[in-house]
Chains A and B, each alone.
Chain A
Amino acid sequence: MNLASGLYQDRASPLHRLPAGLKVLALVALGTAVFVIPDWQILLAILAAVMVLYGVARFSPQILWAQIRPLLWLLVVFFAVQLWLNDWQAGLVVVTRLAIVVLFAALVTLTTRVSVMLEALERAMQPLRFMGVNPEKIGLAFSLVLRFIPVIATVSHDVREAQNARGLNRNMLALTVPLIIRTLKMADDVADAIEARSYDSE
């Protein structure tokens, strides 16, 4: 899955302007609500509403499709299992719930800058300071995870290619050891780079 497809896309829309905290709260509320609603007709109506929100956010149907496409096979499997164990209505309930949560979570990500999301996360964690939690450090850690997933994927691809060239294509040890060493070295360099930019978490 291309992580970038789930990242912020700039548009002039009311959803983009909503506070990040509100959108995350809405995601939590919707995520909870759909799992207590047993009626497939109501769930379908909610799914349609979420799809309409993509239009409100000025996203094309292609962007909407890009969010759901990677899950399509999973939805088909879930529907088939429910059809076999129960009936088609039960299958529809399960796949509609999953589609609502995935599409709404993607909508929140697409309409909210990572930095704004992290600011909201940092604000939400401020009350935990008395327990010794540093919200700025946690925010930075989340950002680094998002930033370095594609970088580590590239390193992993490079290592795999190098090992294939040496005929070690089925050797997990030959892949994981260099990958871990390069990742640790990269972590050192990144820590230096953060320090070089006068980062102050206090």
Chain B
Amino acid sequence: MIELQNVALRYGKQSVLEDISLSLGERRIGIVGANGSGKSTLARLLNGLLLPSEGTVRVDGMDTAKDGRKVRAKVGFVFQNPDNQIVFPVVEEDLAFGLKPLKLPKDDVSRRIDAMLARYDLGAYRTHPSHQLSGGQKQLLAICGVLIMEPACIVFDEPTTLLDLRNRNRVAQAIAELDQQVITVSHDLDLLADYDRILVIDQGRVVCDDVPQKALPFYVDLMS
């Protein structure tokens, strides 16, 4: 459970988020909003990548301002551009990087990498240079890099924006099949259509918090 209490975030005098209080416990939560509305900033607050100027963000009771590392082990984050998320030049090495803090035996690391790559049909690419993967494969590798750390929740920041239709569908299916709680920031309304809850962000505030059947038409109206 992620809880935000009276959260505000400001850069100097510029307000990005104002007075946000939420309890996020549903299995699938979507966040929509115009460019610059503050939705990606809100996502980054959820695992302590950003800290609020006012208020608190707690993950299972842990304050992101005090227990950042523990929070990030619980809440994974997949960025919009996988090129900025994959930090090692070879596929298997990038996955091993996420396991480093766990200090596991080498055999265990290797088994986990095998299982993760097999799950997303990337087994043949284990020793492949990561920059030579396709856009969809890179996004799947970025997801693997987070999943291998076994977080309880994963935040996706516009995971399908840079992908063609085939890869978009592949990534959407991968997200749909996850057992974890998923919080997705997206402009792709089809991706969020069967979610449990949608937050609409406008000018740094939550202006609608409802099921997709109500929140998505509200958002479309807001943008028209």
Q: Are B49 and A195 in contact (CB under 8 A)?
A: yes
Flag whether B84 is at the interface (Cβ < 8 A): yes
Q: Are A196 and B49 in contact (CB under 8 A)?
A: yes
Alpha-carbon separation in the docked complex, A186 to B82 (Å): 11
Q: Are A147 and B89 in contact (CB under 8 A)?
A: yes
Which of the 9-residue segments B57-65, B126-134, B175-183 touches chain A? B126-134
Q: Which B residues touch A151, using CB under 8 A?
A: 83, 131
Q: Are B127 and A143 in contact (CB under 8 A)?
A: no
Q: Are B86 and A147 in contact (CB under 8 A)?
A: yes
Alpha-carbon separation in the docked complex, A115 to B100 (Å): 11
Given contacts A115-B93, A198-B73, A198-B149, contact A193 B84 (CB under 8 A): yes
Alpha-carbon separation in the docked complex, A84 to B43 (Å): 67
Q: Are A192 and B93 in contact (CB under 8 A)?
A: no
Q: Are B89 and A146 in contact (CB under 8 A)?
A: yes
In the assembled complex, the CB of B127 is this many whole angstroms from the nearest CB of chain A, namely 5
Given A10, A115, A186, which contacts B88 in the complex, CB threshold below 8 Å?
A: A115
Instruction: Determine the interface band of chain A, counting residues with CB < 8 A from chain B.
Output: 20 to 34
Q: Are A192 and B79 in contact (CB under 8 A)?
A: yes
Flag whether B81 is at the interface (Cβ < 8 A): yes
Q: Which B residues touch A154, using CB under 8 A?
A: 131
In the assembled complex, the CB of B40 is this many whole angstroms from the nearest CB of chain A, namely 11
Flag whether A199 is at the interface (Cβ < 8 A): yes
Q: Which A residues touch B72, using CB under 8 A?
A: 195-198
Alpha-carbon separation in the docked complex, A154 to B85 (Å): 16
| B residues apposed to A, CB below 8 Å | 44, 47, 49, 69, 72-73, 76-77, 79, 81, 83-90, 92-93, 96-98, 100-101, 127, 129-132, 145-146, 149
In the assembled complex, the CB of A150 is this many whole angstroms from the nearest CB of chain B, namely 4
Given B73, B85, B93, which contacts A193 in the complex, CB threshold below 8 Å?
A: B85
Flag whether A177 is at the interface (Cβ < 8 A): no
> Which residues 116-168 of A have a CB within 8 angstroms of B?
140, 143-144, 146-147, 150-151, 154
Q: Are A200 and B98 in contact (CB under 8 A)?
A: no
In the assembled complex, the CB of A16 is this many whole angstroms from the nearest CB of chain B, namely 11
Given contacts A195-B49, A197-B97, contact A147 B130 (CB under 8 A): yes
Given B47, B93, B101, which contacts A196 in the complex, CB threshold below 8 Å?
A: B47
Q: List 30 A-B contacts (CB under 8 A).
A: A4-B132, A7-B89, A8-B90, A8-B127, A9-B127, A113-B90, A113-B92, A115-B88, A115-B90, A115-B96, A143-B87, A144-B87, A146-B89, A147-B86, A147-B131, A150-B129, A151-B83, A186-B83, A190-B85, A192-B44, A192-B49, A193-B77, A194-B87, A196-B49, A196-B76, A197-B87, A198-B69, A198-B98, A198-B101, A199-B97
Q: Are A190 and B131 in contact (CB under 8 A)?
A: no
Given B77, B84, B98, B146, which contacts A190 in the complex, CB threshold below 8 Å?
A: B84
Q: Are B84 and A7 in contact (CB under 8 A)?
A: no
Q: Which B residues touch A8, using CB under 8 A?
A: 90, 127
Flag whether A114 is at the interface (Cβ < 8 A): yes
Q: Which A residues touch B76, using CB under 8 A?
A: 196-197
Of B89, B97, B149, the most chain A CB neighbours within 10 A belong to B89
